[in-house]
Structure formats: C-alpha cells, structure tokens
Amino acid sequence: MKVLVTGAAGFIGSHAAERLQQEGYTVTGADNFSDYYDVSLKELNAKAIHEKGVEIIRMDLRNSEEYSKLSKDFDFIVHFAAQPGISASSTFEEYFGNNVIATQNLLEFAHKNKSLKHFFNIGTSSIYGLEATFPETVAPKPASWYGVSKLAGEQLVLAESRGDKLKASSLRLYSVYGPRERPEKLYTKLIACAFKDEAFPIYEGSENHLRSFTYVGDIVDGIFKAIEQHEKLNGEIINLGADDENKTGEGIELVEELLGKRVRLEVVPKRAGDQSRTLADITKAKKLLGYEPQTTLREGLKHQIKWYKENFL
C-alpha cells in the first residue's frame, strides 16, 4: 500500500511517515520546507525518516504545477501540511494559501489517483474555538485565522465525502508534544531556555490554561488505527488526544523537576485567539478505533528531553 504524507518534514508528519513505513506501507513524504521556523530542523527530520526508507519530495502544495513530481498511484493520502499555530508574524494570506488553497489543490490531485482508498485530513482542536472540550457533533467556533482556515480546509475535504467523490475523514488533534516539536512550541522552547539559561516568555495568564497534552506517539498510533480501519470512517470527524488535562504551569514545573533546574519566566502580553482549555473527548475514537492513549506527561517529557539533548547539546 502506498501512502502520501504531506508536511512529512514537520513535527507530527515526520513521526507518522516513519511509523507507516515501519508498519510496511510504502511512504512518500511531501514538504515545502517553509522557513516558518529554522529549515535545518526540518532537514534533520527529513534525514531521519529518509534513512528509514521514506522518499521525500520537495514541493509546494499551493502550486498546482508541482504535483507533476508525484506519482498517481497512492492508496492513502494523509494531509498534515499547513500554516501552523497562532502567530502574529503569519499573515491571513499565508493561512489561507497553505490551509485552504493547498488543500483544494491536493484534493484535485487526489482524484487522479484511481486506487485511492481514503483521504485523511489532519485537523486541530483550534477548530472548536477558545475552549475545546466537546464531542465532534458540536458546532465549531474558531477564534483565530489558524482555526478558521483549518476549519475551511476540513470542510473542503468533507464536502468531497458528502458528494460521494472521495472517501475522506478528518482527525482533530489536541496539544501534541514530543521529540521534533517545533522550536516555538511550549516544551521545546522551555527545554531550550533551561539549557541556554534564557528567560522563557510566558503569555499572561497562560500558566492556568488547561491542556490535553498528548504525546506524539499516541497521536500517530491513532492515525495508524484510522488507516487500518478506514472502511468505516468515510465522512467522520474524530478527536485524537489525551483524555486528561494539566495546567500549563504544571507542565512547566514537571520539566523543571526532570531537568533539575529552574527556568526563568518572562510574562508577555496575552495572545489573541489562544485557547483557555482543551480536553479531548475521545469517546468516538475509543468506540470506532479502539484508541487508548498510553503515555503519561512525565514519560513523554522524558523522551522529549532526551531527544533535545541528543540533537542540540
């Protein structure tokens, strides 16, 4: 079985590509190696999964002409590629281009794959809005350009399913952390600040935000289960995440404990559109996929600290 993983040089996409290759799938990864963050980190991810047998194609999904670089015999497409997160430095045009236009182009390419069995869109809990504690049936209320554009991309995919044009579904991910996490994300930045003896910028009030911190390996396990059971998932939206929650402040304290050192915190103004609470309702994932996250926050952070030491110290 052949799988196309978009955003394969990124954080979660690289882990998913690696796992699927290990499970016996033939994986092709596509990535534009955007400079949203240090490209050398994406190169590091790409090298790691290439060594495991994953082919990496450099291409921009927004450019329809570049799809000629891909074969047209994929059995599955797993669509991670996106303009990520909530960032004041990202423009609306970047969110729209990477999360909507690119998704539509990819869907048009998907139709050219006659053996395609399923298209998996990788969504986000940000689709729900400032609080993400709901089942998949609740109407979304995104509060950021990121959330709005990811919802639009998701609906483009699901429209293909409703119109009986493609078998497709969307997986909404919750607060993923672990090895290869982007450098501006909470735990990678926190660990880096600890080792560099730099102040960690914390958004005002965010230490009390509640999060379903979910280890990347548990997320990838859910995605693998979805691919293996794709025949019953057409048109479905499924939450994937940990069904417990921790305050951001508790996560910071745990990193300090594991490192044996304090991290200097520097309070910065609140970030517009930031979620105050995420708690994954995974009732549906448990029922349809047999999904059960296994990794505690302590165990996952140990893995992340080990990865950071091995690659950056």
Q: Which CATH superfamily is domain 2-174+216-240 in?
A: NAD(P)-binding Rossmann-like Domain (3.40.50.720)
Where exactly are the structural domains of the chain? Answer: 2-174+216-240, 177-210+244-279+295-312
Asked if 2-174+216-240 and 177-210+244-279+295-312 have one fold, the answer is: no
* pLDDT tens, position by position, 172-213: 999 999 999 999 999 999 999 999 999 999 999 899 999 999
Give yes or no for a contact between 151 and 301, defined as CB atoms under 8 angstroms apart: no
* pLDDT tens, position by position, 93-137: 999 999 999 999 999 999 999 999 999 999 999 999 999 999 999
Residue 88 is predicted with a pLDDT of 72
Name the least confident of 156-160, 188-192, 268-272: 268-272
Map residue 57 onto helix, strand or coil: strand
Name the least confident of 86-90, 218-222, 250-254: 86-90
Confidence of residue 240 (pLDDT cuts 50, 70, 90): very high
- Distance between CA 35 and CA 87 in Å, rounded? 14
pTM over 0.85? The answer is: yes
Burial of 263 (0-12, 13-18, 19+ CB in 10 A): buried
Per annotation, catalytic residue among 36, 146, 215, 291: 146
Give yes or no for a contact between 120 and 161, defined as CB atoms under 8 angstroms apart: no
Fold held by 177-210+244-279+295-312: UDP-galactose 4-epimerase; domain 1 (3.90.25)
Residue 167 is predicted with a pLDDT of 98
Judged against a pLDDT cut of 80, whether residue 87 lies above it is answered with no
Give yes or no for a contact between 224 and 19, defined as CB atoms under 8 angstroms apart: yes
Q: What angle do helix axes 102-110 and 145-162 make, rounded to 10 degrees? A: 20
- Please give the single-letter amino acid code of residue 272: A
- Distance between CA 103 and CA 25 in Å, rounded? 23
Residue 270 is predicted with a pLDDT of 86
Q: What angle do helix axes 186-196 and 297-312 make, rounded to 10 degrees? A: 50
Q: Is 146 a catalytic residue?
A: yes
DSSP string, 168-198: EEEEEE-SEESTT--TTSHHHHHHHHHHHT-
- Which whole number is the average pLDDT over 3-14? 98
- Distance between CA 302 and CA 280 in Å, rounded? 23
- Distance between CA 138 and CA 241 in Å, rounded? 17
The end-to-end CA distance of the chain, in Å, is 39
- Distance between CA 9 and CA 46 in Å, rounded? 5
Residue 100 is predicted with a pLDDT of 98
- Which whole number is the average pLDDT over 271-284? 91
- Which whole number is the average pLDDT over 155-174? 98
- Distance between CA 52 and CA 30 in Å, rounded? 16
Confidence of residue 273 (pLDDT cuts 50, 70, 90): confident
